[in-house]
């Protein structure tokens, strides 16, 4: 039987139910307007009218309630539901959702270069292939050069592949084909690189490692508890880099698979900003992203 521990949080409206294994890759934040058709656990929990939100990440489920009900009267019942549902669906979802790489194209300021961004991390660092002759130890670059005569350079970093073309074609003519090719290559578990990736220079590391103020520490603690496990599971890293008390704005440094990803802004606004507003509304009203 799955063992669930009840763990209070600093927010009196939120209780954590902690499992002894990782529940899902990434994270889920659910309210009563969310699609929970494939999440029986959420369906059962939302049967209780006093439950407002559910947050699932790493090895725990956090439940937020209304003030009208005290935890002492409902925690055991909720714990039993969580235990029963994890026995039936250990990975939360009723149906297995395929964890396949998805790739989308992103323009760059350089009209000769197109980025093909994956929802999965590719490298912890980067490799740069400046010519076809240098591609022998980078199978993904080698495959791109073999498939497309117009490809001049390939740069693979974290969660994207940047391809530089020559003047023989325009990106609108070939972008879809290249995106499909890279997507299928990744879905077939193609080798990325045989070379050890180079590490990114990080000029802001000293800012992350500085001593936080009391309010910054509160924000950082919530990030570490609720956000970091999911982000790190996706190959990224998020850190509080700056906090402006006058505007109640928290600036986050995004690194790894998060850095440069267009979805990061939506994630911050839709997820992390709402989470911080819920836990520390007196401190945070806005969240901004800084790519590392």
CATH number, residue 130? 3.30.1370.70
Q: Is the dihedral of CA 273, 278, 281, 283 positive or negative?
A: negative
Q: Which residue has the tokens 């520490």?
A: 217
Instruction: State residue 86 phi and psi, 5-degree precision.
Output: -75, -25
> Which DSSP string corresponds to 176-198?
HHHHHHHHHHHHTT----SSPPB
Q: What percent of the chain has pLDDT over 70?
A: 84
Q: Is 90 helix (H, G, I), strand (E, B) or coil?
A: coil
Instruction: Let me know whether 168 and 133 are in one domain.
Output: yes
**Does pLDDT of 97 surpass 50?**
no
Domain count, the chain: 3
Residue 96 has pLDDT above 60, yes or no: no
Residue 95 belongs to some domain of the structure: no
> In terms of domains, do 213 and 286 share one?
yes
Q: Angle between the 171-187 and 139-147 helix axes, to the nearest 10 degrees?
A: 140
Shared-domain flag, residues 84 and 148:
no
Same domain (yes/no): 121, 176: yes
For residues 155-172, one letter each, b for 16 or more C-beta atoms within 10 angstroms of the residue's C-beta and e for the rest, the string is bbbbbbbbbbbeeeeebe
The answer to whether residue 49 scores a pLDDT higher than 90 is: yes
Domain final residue pick, 152, 187, 222: 187
* Main-chain phi, psi angles of 24, to 5 degrees: -145, 155
Of the candidates 32, 99, 86, the one whose C-alpha atom is nearest the C-alpha of residue 59 is 86
Does the residue 156 lie in any domain?
Answer: yes
Mark which of 132, 160, 187 sits at the end of a domain: 187
C-alpha R_g of the chain: 22
One domain for residues 182 and 225: no
* CA 245 to mean position of chain CA atoms: 26
Same domain, 121 and 70: no
Q: What is the pLDDT of residue 88?
A: 83
Q: Give the domain CATH number at 245.
A: 3.30.300.130
Instruction: Quote the pLDDT of residue 69.
Output: 92
16-20, 30-34, 115-119, 230-234: least confidently modelled range: 230-234
Query: Does residue 199 sit within a domain?
Result: no
pLDDT at 132 over 60: yes
Q: Which two tokens stand for residue 89?
A: 């669906």
Per-residue pLDDT tens digits for 201-256: 454 455 556 678 899 999 988 988 888 777 665 556 778 888 899 999 988 877 65
- pLDDT for 73 equals 93
Domain boundary among 120, 153, 187: 187
Residue 279 lies in a domain: yes
**Sign of the CA dihedral running 37, 5, 22, 234:** positive
Instruction: Tell me the H-state helices in the chain.
Output: 40-45, 75-88, 139-147, 171-187, 205-208, 214-222, 228-233, 263-267, 273-279
Domain assignment present for residue 55? The answer is: yes
Residues 18 and 62 in one domain: yes
Q: How many residues does the chain have?
A: 292
Same domain, yes or no: 63 and 109: no
As a whole number of angstroms, the distance between CA 1 and CA 16 comes to 19
Residue 199's pLDDT is what? 75
Q: Please tell me the distance from the alpha carbon of residue 81 to that of residue 48, in angstroms, as a whole number.
A: 11
Q: How far apart are CA 227 and CA 289, in angstroms?
A: 14
The DSSP string of 212-223 is PPHHHHHHHHHI
Domain presence at residue 195: no
**Same domain assignment for residues 166 and 214:** no
- Same domain, yes or no, for 108 and 70? no
Region 81-88: what's the mean pLDDT? Answer: 88
Residue 262's SS3 state is coil
The first and second tokens of residue 71, run together, are 């935890």
CA atoms within 13 Å, Cβ hemisphere of 105: 15
Mean pLDDT of 146-173: 93
Residue 192 forms part of a structural domain:
no
Q: Does 200 reside within a domain?
A: no
**Are 147 and 216 contained in the same domain?**
no
User: What is the overall mean pLDDT for the chain?
Assistant: 84
What's the pLDDT tens digit per position in 109-131?
788 999 998 888 899 888 889 99
Query: In terms of pLDDT, which residue wins out, 82 or 232?
Result: 82
Whether residues 23 and 76 fall in one domain: yes
CA pair distance 275, 223, nearest whole angstrom:
9
Domain span holding position 162: 103-187
At residue 95 the predicted structure's pLDDT band, cuts being 50, 70 and 90, is: very low
Percent of all residues in the chain with a pLDDT value above 90, rounded to a whole number? 40
Model-level pTM greater than 0.75? no
């Amino acid at each position: 039987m799955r063992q669930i521990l009840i763990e209070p949080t600093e927010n009196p409206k939120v209780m954590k139910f902690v499992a002894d294994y990782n529940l899902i890759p990434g994270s889920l934040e659910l309210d009563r307007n969310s699609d929970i058709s494939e999440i029986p656990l959420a369906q059962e929990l939302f049967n209780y009218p006093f439950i407002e939100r559910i947050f699932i990440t790493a090895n725990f489920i956090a439940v937020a309630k209304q003030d009208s009900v005290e935890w002492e009267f409902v925690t055991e019942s909720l714990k039993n539901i969580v235990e029963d549902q994890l026995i039936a669906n250990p990975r939360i979802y009723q149906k297995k959702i395929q964890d396949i790489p998805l790739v989308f194209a992103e323009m760059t300021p350089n009209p000769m270069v197109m980025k093909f961004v994956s929802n999965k991390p590719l490298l912890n660092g980067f490799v740069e292939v400046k010519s076809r002759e240098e591609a022998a130890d980078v199978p993904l670059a080698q495959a791109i050069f073999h498939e497309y005569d117009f490809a001049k350079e390939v740069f693979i970093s974290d969660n994207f592949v940047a391809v530089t073309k020559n003047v023989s074609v325009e990106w609108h003519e070939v972008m879809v084909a290249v995106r499909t090719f890279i997507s299928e290559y990744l879905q077939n578990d193609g080798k990325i690189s045989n070379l050890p990736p180079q590490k990114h220079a990080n000029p802001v590391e000293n800012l992350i490692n500085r001593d936080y103020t009391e309010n910054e520490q509160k924000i950082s603690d919530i990030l570490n508890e609720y956000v970091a496990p999911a982000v790190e599971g996706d190959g990224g890293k998020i850190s509080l880099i700056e906090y402006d008390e006058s505007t109640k704005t928290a600036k986050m440094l995004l690194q790894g698979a998060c850095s440069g990803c267009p979805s990061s802004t939506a994630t911050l606004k839709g997820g992390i900003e709402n989470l911080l507003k819920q836990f520390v509304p007196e401190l945070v009203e806005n969240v901004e992203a800084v790519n590392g």
